[in-house]
Structure 1
């Protein structure tokens, strides 16, 4: 290969890994390892909208436009396998680019029927976890989420704006919930009918990837990731509230729900993990992994809350810590994006319920103005603080095992050659 061909091959691999949800440090390690295998020692620099590949001691460099807006574990798995084959001498360097292209095209996103079906399943599962027991309300959640998934797939064909899909799906959920309000469901069921189809839209992998970058002091990429995730949540909240308001309805106030039996809670958690695994294009053969980890983690959360009297944030931390201990070595072994795999397992704990209630109360506060009751302000602070603490607990619970295992047990099969490794601080080697 010429240096130009080698550089183009490495740039393509970097772009595919970065835009499909691989963690930043793993992208850097994999790309620099591939470059060395192609006799092209280089340094990869990441920013939000582009990748810069600088060849050491040579005038060769390349800028690649790419933004980490998507999550496709199949494509990441395929590209990582090609990189390993090249680095281990099992694939000739001149065939590397073709192999990367084939690997990326081999894994297609989930089909539209499967996408819609699992969206419906995930919303109903979240309803069970949050205490919904009425069959009518669960069916309405499933219908709203499935219809929203079909709408999102159609919008993906007509617009590349990343905010249009979640905003429109949430707006549709608000309309369906407003129409369902005439069925006079119980308070908890009425609220969850609106919220559960929106909770499956929460961008968990972007939150986790951003948190990992911030923990690694990659502020230049971590902050944009978190900002993007926040804007997605804002779009979902706006869509839900506009949909409800357009039909003359409002989000019912949060009410306490009865405790969910252990069996129902764990089973629903497995269904939610399967739904999000589908959203992130996990291959069928690997889907049992996040399902099993999700059920195990949710069982730990249920026990912490029911037996130890832990609050929801502490329960989420315990569950995510357990999930992180399992997912971190498995993600290394299978070359899967840690954030997507980890989030698939613990998605049902994301505090969408509290986030959307805080947004609804804030909208009502603005509408009422100075005449707003004190209880409304208390509700905003309480829901907002609870959501923040849960996200913080989940993030630390998931990334702490990742960071510790990467520091003390770096995967030898994926370490960089010595001359490349020596350039990096010890804490960063082999880490996400």
Structure 2
């Protein structure tokens, strides 16, 4: 057995796109059992297949798809079998060839979300021939994919976070001033996060810094107009968008893919992803609550705007598209994928809103909406040759009750244990409903998902 350590130096940061320092080269690593001078040996082929999996895992792909891609690559490389165990941060795989076997452990330097890289890597695997691919071809293609820079500039990235959180604020009934403050705070917070990510710091530390920056900027943004008399009341009267200002920190990708991993019985990967997501949510909630405590202004829920249904429905549809488009850009999605995710979510979230107006429980409405997302994403994925996850996860992120999760934390710290438990209960049920809706869509449209067999 050989262990491949993470290449030295910082690379991709955890959640959204960031500008990268020079990435370490992708290629085989010399071992005592198989020197690099022997082309396409068992060792080199197994390393090439594992490198594909590491690229997909580092880009946010669920573990089942990672295993499927590695197995397909292994067949194209002429290996007899390639059996793997994929967790959130590691890949352990055994390859066989002509009666010999080799087990290896691969660890991506960082695990995050990069839809462009995920899309290009998966598309490359889909186009591989059944036989005849060489390890050199695989390493060369992966190097080309990794060499691609960010699709969106720092300014566009920050604006995407700002517009997304401003849209989420209005969807959570925030007033215009509160939504504007949330957008400004989230944009500056995302810019701060992206800057800190370049240092390859601990994920939780990056989250805490970004949350403190966003929360502080929000308070300053509502204090200025109230202090000058432009807006009536004090800062404490305009806290309806405060929690929305840190919604760009909600780890939507690991939260949804973690639940999908559990459905596929990938418990080690699923539990690890959900633990990571929970840690990030708690970190962001704790930081925003601490800032509000320090200034003595507790966050409060926004009052219902009371808009007519004929006005609120198209408004929510438009805001949903803006919010999902913003998050898709944060995930480094190409424009066509980002726009497709926004359109899908606009349709599905409108259905969810109408069901809510008909007094359907929010969990059931969310379940129905995410089933719709999964089915439409399947059709787009088949016709446009893009990963289904790149469409479905951003489209569902807006249905994740991050606002409620943060509110529950605030209520708990204020001593309202019963209210916090009720808010958290509904939020967790909505998250489960969203994941099960996507899972049902996968089960209904994919023969491989319905099978208990594992890729090999």
User: Which bin holds the TM-score, normalised by the shorter protein?
Assistant: 0.7 to 0.9
Distance in structure 2 (CA, Å) of the matches to 1:201 and 1:5: 39
Moved more, 288-297 or 310-319: 310-319
Residue matched to 1:155: 196
Structure 2 residue matching 1:110: 3-state secondary structure: coil
Residue matched to 1:140: 181
Q: In the TM superposition, what are the counterparts of 1:240-251 in structure 2 within 5 Å?
A: 240-251=288-299
Moved more, 11-20 or 180-189: 180-189
Residue matched to 1:304: 355
Any idea what the Cα deviations from partners look like across 1:345-375, whole Å, max 9, x if unmatched?
A: 132221112111110111111xxxxxxxxxx
Residue matched to 1:322: 372
Structure 2 residue matching 1:361: 3-state secondary structure: helix
For the pair 1:261 / 2:312, whether they are aligned, the reply is yes
Moved more, 43-52 or 174-183: 174-183
For the pair 1:196 / 2:235, whether they are aligned, the reply is no
**C-alpha displacement of 1:160:** 2.5
Distance in structure 2 (CA, Å) of the matches to 1:241 and 1:313: 27
Residue matched to 2:343: 292
**C-alpha displacement of 1:340:** 4.4
Residue matched to 2:451: 426
Distance in structure 2 (CA, Å) of the matches to 1:332 and 1:101: 26
Aligned with residue 323 of structure 2, among 272, 284, 293:
272
* Structure 1 unpaired stretches of 5+: 366-375, 412-424
Q: TM-score, normalised by structure 1?
A: 0.86
- Check the 8 A contact 2:90/2:106 in 1, yes or no: yes
Q: TM-score, normalised by structure 2?
A: 0.82
Taking a change above 3 Å as real, the CA distance of residues 269 and 132 of structure 1, as seen in their structure-2 partners, is: same
Residue matched to 2:429: 389
- Check the 8 A contact 2:321/2:342 in 1, yes or no: yes
Residue matched to 1:362: 412
Structure 1 residue matching 2:93: 3-state secondary structure: strand
Distance in structure 1 (CA, Å) of the matches to 2:323 and 2:237: 18
* Structure 2 unpaired stretches of 5+: 1-38, 227-231
For the pair 1:19 / 2:58, whether they are aligned, the reply is yes
Structure 1 residue matching 2:398: 3-state secondary structure: helix
Residue matched to 2:116: 74
For the pair 1:112 / 2:154, whether they are aligned, the reply is yes
Taking a change above 3 Å as real, the CA distance of residues 280 and 332 of structure 1, as seen in their structure-2 partners, is: farther
Report how many residues are paired: 404
**C-alpha displacement of 1:55:** 1.4
Any idea what the Cα deviations from partners look like across 1:7-49, whole Å, max 9, x if unmatched?
A: 2221211100111111111111111111111112321221343
Distance in structure 2 (CA, Å) of the matches to 1:314 and 1:185: 39
Taking a change above 3 Å as real, the CA distance of residues 71 and 335 of structure 1, as seen in their structure-2 partners, is: farther
Moved more, 16-25 or 94-103: 94-103
Residue matched to 2:255: 207
**C-alpha displacement of 1:400:** 1.1
For the pair 1:100 / 2:125, whether they are aligned, the reply is no
- Check the 8 A contact 1:71/1:340 in 2, yes or no: no
Structure 2 residue matching 1:193: 3-state secondary structure: coil
More helix by share: 1
Q: In the TM superposition, what are the counterparts of 1:334-373 in structure 2 within 5 Å?
A: 334=384, 336-365=386-415
Distance in structure 2 (CA, Å) of the matches to 1:246 and 1:133: 24
**C-alpha displacement of 1:343:** 2.3
- Check the 8 A contact 2:240/2:302 in 1, yes or no: no
Q: Aligned Cα RMSD in Å?
A: 2.6
Any idea what the Cα deviations from partners look like across 1:111-139, whole Å, max 9, x if unmatched?
A: 211110111110111122122242x2222
Distance in structure 2 (CA, Å) of the matches to 1:230 and 1:79: 28
Any idea what the Cα deviations from partners look like across 1:116-174, whole Å, max 9, x if unmatched?
A: 0111110111122122242x222211110110011001111224211122222221222
For the pair 1:39 / 2:78, whether they are aligned, the reply is yes
**C-alpha displacement of 1:179:** 3.2
Residue matched to 2:439: 399
- Check the 8 A contact 1:78/1:104 in 2, yes or no: no
Distance in structure 2 (CA, Å) of the matches to 1:335 and 1:70: 22
- Check the 8 A contact 1:128/1:264 in 2, yes or no: no
**C-alpha displacement of 1:255:** 4.0
**C-alpha displacement of 1:328:** 2.9
Residue matched to 2:208: 167
Structure 1 residue matching 2:298: 3-state secondary structure: coil
Distance in structure 2 (CA, Å) of the matches to 1:61 and 1:429: 17
**C-alpha displacement of 1:284:** 1.6
**C-alpha displacement of 1:253:** 4.5
Distance in structure 2 (CA, Å) of the matches to 1:90 and 1:195: 54
Distance in structure 1 (CA, Å) of the matches to 2:302 and 2:453: 43
- Check the 8 A contact 1:86/1:92 in 2, yes or no: no
Distance in structure 1 (CA, Å) of the matches to 2:236 and 2:348: 25
- Check the 8 A contact 1:274/1:291 in 2, yes or no: yes
Distance in structure 1 (CA, Å) of the matches to 2:87 and 2:109: 9
- Check the 8 A contact 1:82/1:103 in 2, yes or no: no
